[in-house]
Amino acid sequence: MAALSAWFWNERFWLPHNVTWADLADPAPGVEYPKAGHLLSALPLALGIFAVRIFFERYIAGPCASILQIQMELSRRAQPNAVLEKVFTSITKSPDSKHLEGLSKQLDWDVRKVQRWFRHRRNQDKPSTRTKFCESMWRFTFYLCIFIYGIRFLWQSLWMWDTRQCWYNYPYQVLTSGLYYYYITELAFYWSLMFSQFTDIKRKDFLIMFVHHLATVSLISFSYVNNMLRVGSLVMCIHDSSDFLLEAAKLANYARYQRLCDFLFVVFSMIFFGTRLIIFPFCQCNGGK
């Protein structure tokens, strides 16, 4: 394990020439550099964010959904059946005609009755519009708040206006409190999303989103340990700039404000295209000069 760790954190790969991890471990008095141990503080913060989310969805998003007359749909529940439940959970949620005929004979049910049971069982697992509204309102609120914080912080930072500053005197770049809070809060939020996936109703994209959150947590963590916080903060802000608009469009869709939904989605698409396909690659190229 030690050999694998030494191979992965090879200084020749991660750090400039003639710089070692030991150089960053013992900074001058009054100077602070990022350390791997700092990342541990994101875990209790993630639990705190998860608790805030529960409170927010119940006491803020829920009443907002009621005001907008978004009610909890009452889907018809499938009658308990051990045989069909076992097939549903371990084999298939949408059996083909061969499976349907076999189950029909085994249970002495009509094929259409078996089909109806599976349809009700699938609908039973689908989150209601009210649940999706509350989840989107929470993500919208967080993305908007963290984007505002990021813009306010970066507005006063030299590297926002000159991306070459991201690499000036790297890796001897001092860790400021504002940058620390920005990074750890973003990291904690994505940890909380990973936690909540196992408590929320499982959806078709469960595995895809889990991999996405895992990749995001890994990228934020690695960039923190390597003191690439300046360029990392720009990347996070660029991504946050469009995320809250997508959630706003979802909220409008759940509330059945279709014109507002369409407008917000168009704005989201324009900002997404501009930030991720123009600004992001341009800044990366400019920063490498």
pLDDT digit string (tens) for the chain, length 289 residues = 667 777 777 777 777 877 877 777 777 777 888 888 899 999 999 999 999 999 999 999 999 999 998 876 656 666 777 777 777 777 777 777 777 788 787 777 887 877 877 777 777 767 788 888 999 999 999 999 999 999 999 999 989 888 888 888 888 888 999 999 999 999 999 999 988 887 776 677 778 888 888 999 999 999 998 899 999 999 999 999 999 999 999 999 999 999 999 999 999 999 999 988 888 777 654 554 4
What is the C-alpha to C-alpha distance for residues 273 and 267, in angstroms, rounded to an integer? 10
What is the C-alpha to C-alpha distance for residues 230 and 236, in angstroms, rounded to an integer? 10
Which pLDDT score is estimated for 35?
87
What is the C-alpha to C-alpha distance for residues 186 and 142, in angstroms, rounded to an integer? 10
- For the record, the structure tokens of 52 come out as 């805030």
Spatial CB neighbours of 101, under 8 Å, sequence gap ≥ 6: 111
Q: Is the dihedral of CA 57, 60, 63, 66 positive or negative?
A: negative
> How many angstroms separate the Cα of 213 from the Cα of each of 49, 108, 189, 228, 259?
15, 45, 10, 20, 31
Q: What is the DSSP string of 269-289?
A: HHHHHHIIIIIHHHHHHHHT-
What is the C-alpha to C-alpha distance for residues 246 and 141, in angstroms, rounded to an integer? 12
Which pLDDT score is estimated for 179?
93
What is the C-alpha to C-alpha distance for residues 230 and 258, in angstroms, rounded to an integer? 39
Q: How many residues does the chain have?
A: 289
Closest CA to 172 of 1, 20, 5: 20
Q: Which residue is listed with tokens 């907008």? A: 68
Domains defined for the chain, CATH in brackets: 33-70+129-287 (no CATH), 82-125 (1.10.10.60)
Q: Which residue is listed with tokens 């002495």? A: 108
Which pLDDT score is estimated for 289?
44
Query: Running DSSP on this structure, what letter comes out for residue 139?
Result: H
What is the C-alpha to C-alpha distance for residues 16 and 161, in angstroms, rounded to an integer? 24
Which pLDDT score is estimated for 103?
76
